Chain A
């Protein structure tokens, strides 16, 4: 079989990404000063200036039609440009090439290229990450002028553009939700008690977040900040640490002995080994509550078995070896115990609910109110890709339905028959969205509707979700 005769698919890809502020180079000949960051950096200077100028012009032009809502994106046949005013006069632009299909032609003629005009599920979520780690543009300017800002942007985007996988963006990236770990009341109260006690004895700690199996159980941070931190933890920090674990290197299952207590606690940020005399006690810094109090915090992530705790401490405090040792000695044994408690409780609950309650349905659920997301479609997330158990075409339909929902405020239900024997159902009730994929070859609309009702009755019987 001649492979050359087959169609070739191209996924969307990042063409360029830049940050500018028009007020920085308003005079003729100083246009370059507007550009704070440009990817790819090797692009020739004049082209950079030209592209920035074009975006400026588009935004300026469209503003005449609607002064309050400037243009968000520009779609052309080949690509799409997304404009985002992150802060007053600070613009971030991303240019993405549309997905395309290359159809080979006979007789050695050049192949035909078809660009696919469909919704690309891209949200500038990483901007929030930018704020999380760098605070606002304005604050950075105050602290060290354009120099510092450009340094920060360089450092940040260099890393994050590598983790931007446009082809694997899907509905969950749009929601940017939080998966909550299901837990019984008593174990939850024990965790509460643990968090409160640690915060009491280590009074430097300002906020605490508690996760198990990469799912959130408790957040002392406000919802918006937690959403970003959660994103960072689950897509960046945890996968980075779990990959060596899976590879068998640097096994974390080597218990530490604190006093006479065995424990499995260790730092995921900061010192890798407390006993190392050279160990550095530097932790990543994050910015939270940027809207009002604007706090800069050290982020300590500490893990024992599957339980991870984030402790956040004001950045004005210098963290010492003594503090880290104290934290390790206090938290390590307790967290180890708690982690095995949670694991046990979780297994008990699973046994009670039984295998028949295990979802045979493939669904994605999201609640805008508490950002809770639940997916039986996604397998484990890793740093590079999110694995799904369904065909990308179906994922695209989910994206389309989501876009339809976003256009209206009222409750809606959309049922789609996909090309491949699948039914896709989207339901929206108040602030909740549910997407179900059913594989029933000969089912009709009524049967599909009944099936989804059944799902709601079993999986969502404890919430107010209108059929």
Chain B
């Protein structure tokens, strides 16, 4: 199978660590994504490796027994080590603080500690078989303060560092899951296109209700408040051993015997079911490059193999999905929810407009509508934010966060630059299709009330003019499909040579803009319509500010003496009205016109100063 078909891959630079052995214990901390290799209980060294080099640390500690669990607090401030079932030891890693270990026993009598999780740089939760205990660590005093505790029978637990939620399996039968939420004081969880919801996934090897022997994954949504509900069922369509990951909001299910993986997007709705039952988005594929059997997969985007000493980040490769998902609408829905989707989506757009597997117009329309819907939602969020900021932060207790512009927001300039401008240059595509696509995009923008940028109109006009489809252009303008703007009016004016009606269209547009009166006067004067220009400027009440010289020059050029007389007289009257004298001011530079007037009509024809 060619490499293009793998849509899951391991990152190029795995975290490498000494493999687990009798002298070397390996631990993984999901919260900080760190691997701990503890040699001889720490006496010969502890090597910590994180996703980035700067989070790697190496140190030694005394061997005080076998290490059961080891984790840094957030920011590598304090190290917590569990060696016994009753207590956890702490070591300060803050500079200038005493480096000596201190220890904390769990409060409950006869309880044994199942594990612990850091919820902050100095806050930690112990999970014991009898309940949970929430402490604040005081590194300077080398002691802990109990903040809260809760008594409950615990079989096992899970911790979600992103939301600081601990899920406990309680009751004797182990059939109840109890979530505990902790306040997230450090936001390391950016809602970057994430679904922002917490789910509990549970794998059911075969469904009891149906006779289907296949396994399925059941998702329960865990809201911060309110009760939890069963929301999604993922059909695995096979049996065997599975491992789960969540990458880029996708549930990845690895099947051990076939060494393939499938992905599910719980937001791709199957509309007719109340409870969403999902089939895999894409056909099963192996992870690329599939080097080692996965022995430990964890419910985050990390695959690790403690036996071979590698830890990888699992990544979803979007470009291959383009060819694996035939339904373009579904493909776009899928891509819009992925993190690095922009260029892939734009390439899908280019692809559907060119080449053999060109999409039909309804498909093109569907894709445009989906993109513009996301674009619109972002614009609206931005607008709401701006309004909220302007009205002052005092009102409304919730300080709004500025909406994040994810890659899924594809605006007009993206479309223009990456898709449309090159598409309209294509020689092998019929102009009918090009125009239909451009109109479809404009329709789609209008449908969600997004103002269309004038460069899109220019693209339409350019294409129409190139194929001499002037009557079509005329009709579009007549129905104001191409909205008015000064650049567009100027473009039309330039077309007058090839299409005379463009002159009228342009003047109409300038008139409607109502801010382009000067331009209208210029256009009319250039056409030697001096009287028309004067009548126009008078009708909009601007005749007191216009330059007499400009009009007299234009009248002179027409070689029409009566016209010149009329225009000259008009300005004499204006002078009289504004300044009480019909003569021109020196600043108006009309001397030569006065000379010409006297020459043609005689000195006595000049308007007389009104006698007071």
Query: A interface vs B, CB < 8 Å?
Result: 180, 183, 185-186, 188-190, 192-193, 196-197, 199-201, 218-220, 222-223, 226, 367, 369-370, 372, 411, 430-431, 462-464, 466-467
Contacts and interface: CB of A to CB of B under 8 A. Distances in A.
B587 interface: no
Nearest to B439: A192
Given A464-B504, A464-B511, A464-B520, A197 B362 contact: yes
B443 A189 contact: yes
B440 A193 contact: yes
Contacts of A411: 532
The 8 nearest A-B residue pairs measured at CB: A196-B436, A189-B443, A464-B507, A369-B501, A464-B511, A188-B479, A463-B508, A197-B361
Contacts of A220: 472
Contact of A431 (B480, B504, B539): B504
Contact of A192 (B443, B500, B511, B512): B443
14 contacts: A185-B446, A189-B443, A192-B439, A196-B361, A218-B475, A219-B471, A219-B475, A369-B504, A369-B505, A370-B474, A430-B504, A430-B507, A431-B504, A462-B508
B478 interface: yes
Contact of B478 (A196, A372, A466): A372
A180 B535 contact: no
B478 A370 contact: yes
A154 B435 CA distance: 43
Kindly name the residue among B432, B475, B507 whose own CB sees the greatest number of chain A CB atoms within 10 A: B475
Nearest to A221: B471
Contacts of B433: 200
Interface residues on B, range: 35 or more
Given A370-B478, A462-B511, A186 B447 contact: yes
A185 B475 contact: no
B360 A185 contact: no
Contacts of B539: 466-467
B510 interface: yes
Nearest to A191: B479
Q: Chain A's interface: helix, strand, loop or mixed, by majority?
A: mixed
B535 A188 contact: no
B478 A462 contact: no
B446 A201 contact: no
Kindly name the residue among A183, A186, A196, A463 whose own CB sees the greatest number of chain B CB atoms within 10 A: A196
Given A196-B439, A372-B478, A464-B507, 20 more contacts: A188-B479, A188-B481, A189-B439, A189-B443, A189-B481, A192-B439, A193-B440, A193-B443, A197-B361, A201-B360, A367-B504, A369-B500, A370-B478, A411-B532, A431-B504, A462-B511, A463-B511, A464-B504, A464-B508, A464-B510
Contacts of A192: 439, 443, 481
B244 interface: no
Interface string B439-478: 1101100110000000000000000000000011011001
A154 B268 CA distance: 67
A76 B479 CA distance: 47
Contact of B480 (A185, A369, A372): A185
A463 B507 CA distance: 8
A318 B536 CA distance: 57
Nearest to B514: A461
Contacts of A185: 446, 479-481
B443 A467 contact: no
Nearest to B433: A200
A137 B376 CA distance: 58
A114 B236 CA distance: 99
Contacts of A223: 471, 474
Contacts of B440: 193, 196
B488 to A, nearest CB: 15
A200 B358 CA distance: 12
B106 interface: no
Given A185-B446, A464-B510, A466-B536, A193 B504 contact: no
Nearest to B479: A188
A196 B434 CA distance: 11
A419 to B, nearest CB: 31
A200 B361 contact: yes
A289 to B, nearest CB: 12
Contacts of B11: none
Kindly name the residue among A180, A367, A464 whose own CB sees the greatest number of chain B CB atoms within 10 A: A464
A183 B478 CA distance: 10
Contacts of A430: 504, 507
A200 B436 CA distance: 9
A367 B446 CA distance: 29
A226 B474 CA distance: 14
A223 B362 CA distance: 29
A153 to B, nearest CB: 30
Nearest to A217: B479
Contacts of B501: 369-370, 431
Kindly name the residue among A186, A200, A467 whose own CB sees the greatest number of chain B CB atoms within 10 A: A200
Interface string B499-521: 01100110110111000000010
A284 B472 CA distance: 25
Nearest to B362: A197
A218 B475 CA distance: 7
Contacts of B479: 183, 185, 188
Nearest to A189: B443
Nearest to A196: B436
B137 interface: no
A467 B538 CA distance: 10
A189 B361 contact: no
B260 to A, nearest CB: 39
B556 interface: no
Interface in B359-383: 360-362, 365
A220 B432 CA distance: 11
Contacts of B472: 220
A184 B70 CA distance: 68
B316 to A, nearest CB: 34
Contacts of A463: 508, 511
A196 B437 CA distance: 9
Contacts of A462: 508, 511-512
A300 B61 CA distance: 91
A466 B361 contact: no
A197 B432 CA distance: 11
Contacts of A199: 432, 436
A389 B569 CA distance: 45
A270 to B, nearest CB: 24
Contacts of B447: 186
Nearest to A206: B432
Contacts of B361: 193, 196-197, 200
A180 B478 contact: yes
Contacts of A196: 361, 432, 435-436, 439-440
A411 B528 CA distance: 13
Nearest to A367: B504
Contacts of A188: 479, 481
B471 A222 contact: yes
Contacts of A464: 504, 507-508, 510-511, 520
Kindly name the residue among A186, A192, A201, A218 whose own CB sees the greatest number of chain B CB atoms within 10 A: A192
A332 B360 CA distance: 20
Kindly name the residue among B432, B440, B471 whose own CB sees the greatest number of chain A CB atoms within 10 A: B471
A189 B436 CA distance: 11
A189 B448 CA distance: 13
Contacts of A431: 501, 504
B555 to A, nearest CB: 15
Contacts of B474: 223, 369-370
Contacts of A189: 439, 442-443, 446, 481
Contacts of B475: 218-219, 370
B503 to A, nearest CB: 8
A219 B479 CA distance: 13
B535 A467 contact: yes
A219 B501 CA distance: 17
B532 A466 contact: yes
